[in-house]
Amino acid sequence: MPATEPVPEHPTISIIVPARNEEASLADCLQSLVAQSGVTFEIIVVDDHSTDRTRAIAESFPGVRVLEAGPLPQGWTGKNNAVTIGARHARGQWLLFTDADTVHLPGSLAGALNEAQENGADLLSYSPEQIAVTFWEMATLPVVFAELARQYSPSKVSDPASPIAAANGQYILIRRETYDAVGGHAAIAGDILEDVALARAVKKSGRKIRFRYGANVVRTRMYRNYAQLRDGWTKNLALLFPNPDWLAAKTLLIGAFPWAALGLMIAGFAKHSWGNAFVVVAVLWPMTRLRRANFDWAMEFLGAFFGMPMFAYLLLRSKRALANGNVSWKGRTYGPKETTKDAATKLSSPTPTPAGRLS
């Protein structure tokens, strides 16, 4: 590992928030960030061509720097472009990339820095507590996050001996030296799944990752209606799981058991002892599989009956959209990804602007 310059005893954290049409959530996010204490930090919001009140909301918070993302270079995703602009204007020894739909608990920023330093982590990422309100949020999220926990076990991600790497783009705290050493988001400019790609680059470089469920740090409501949920997971799912066809088939099979149990009850077979036993197992087994997703039993119940077929549908929809180069998100459509090496040369360095005020 290359030698690094001495880190100040009290390092500064640059918080970078990419925002595209986030008027529904940005104010709560920034309010939770400006209230942080116990550490020196700056907040940078990168307005990614918003057409709503996003920029005005960001500018209403004193001390928050608001930057314009600028034209989207060919081959780049909007988020990678926005966070790269933010990072180039950041002055901190640590960078926190966090989404505009997050809310940060009091004292969490100082706690995260301490956790990273105490564990010798170059990249610390939390999977936030997921807030679900609508029916499809409550049914689908337990299945998605249970499968993510299987595919990207936090213990394996945090194990330097394991090749498995992952991060959650809603909260990534990374040393500036590490970020620059692996090429930052410019090195993964065209990756839709930029958080996992960045984590893989960090782990491949021999640096340490720490990843865990962070309900005591940050929470989020990712999608606020069915259309957002459908399009958001269509963008990601087939990239997150290596065999989407097999996983979809397996999930449908497991998800059929609760419905079979319901059919037995309606038909009256549940009156028999063997029928009772089957009904209990057929319902509890899928619910037990969802335990690791950190949701309550009511959402696990919805996940077992309705979330599993929805997850299978979204997996297959995601695979088809990616295969056709037709992934849509926030008004943009991403076609076949060009190489990140080619894409990275297309973003010219922005003109430096005067440094903003630190909190």
Q: What span, in angstroms and rounded, lies between the C-alpha atoms of 139 and 156?
A: 27
Q: What pLDDT is stored for residue 2 in this prediction?
A: 41
Q: What span, in angstroms and rounded, lies between the C-alpha atoms of 220 and 141?
A: 12
Do the Cβ atoms of 166 and 196 come closer than 8 Å? yes
Q: What pLDDT is stored for residue 335 in this prediction?
A: 65
Residue carrying the six token digits 């740090």: 217
| CA-only gyration radius of the chain, Å | 22
Residue carrying the six token digits 């087994």: 285
Distances, alpha carbon 121 to alpha carbons 204, 209, 212, in Å: 14, 5, 12
Per-residue pLDDT of the chain (359 residues), as tens digits, is: 444 444 456 799 999 999 999 999 999 999 999 999 999 999 999 999 999 999 999 999 999 999 999 999 999 999 999 999 999 999 999 999 999 999 999 999 999 999 999 999 999 999 999 999 999 999 999 999 999 999 999 999 999 999 999 999 999 999 999 999 999 999 999 999 999 999 999 999 999 999 999 999 999 999 999 999 999 999 999 999 999 999 999 999 999 988 888 887 777 665 666 666 777 777 888 899 999 899 999 999 999 999 999 999 999 999 999 998 888 888 888 865 533 333 333 333 333 333 333 43
Q: What pLDDT is stored for residue 274 in this prediction?
A: 63
Q: Which two tokens stand for residue 156?
A: 């394996």
Q: What pLDDT is stored for residue 283 in this prediction?
A: 84
Residue carrying the six token digits 């640059």: 14
Which of 151, 276, 153 has the alpha carbon at shortest distance from 211? Answer: 153
Q: What pLDDT is stored for residue 330 in this prediction?
A: 86
Q: What pLDDT is stored for residue 144 in this prediction?
A: 97
* pLDDT, tens only, 133-182: 999 999 999 999 999 999 999 999 999 999 999 999 999 999 999 999 99
- Domains of the chain: residue spans and CATH: 12-128+168-224 (3.90.550.10), 238-334 (no CATH)
Phi/psi at 302 (5° precision): -65, -40
Helices (H), the chain: 26-34, 54-59, 78-88, 108-118, 135-151, 154-157, 176-181, 194-204, 226-240, 244-267, 273-289, 297-302, 308-323, 340-344
Burial 62-95 (b: 16+ CB within 10 A, else e): eebbbbebeebbebbbbbbbbbbbbbebbebbbb
- CA angle 130-136-141, nearest 5°? 35
Q: Which two tokens stand for residue 339?
A: 């190489």
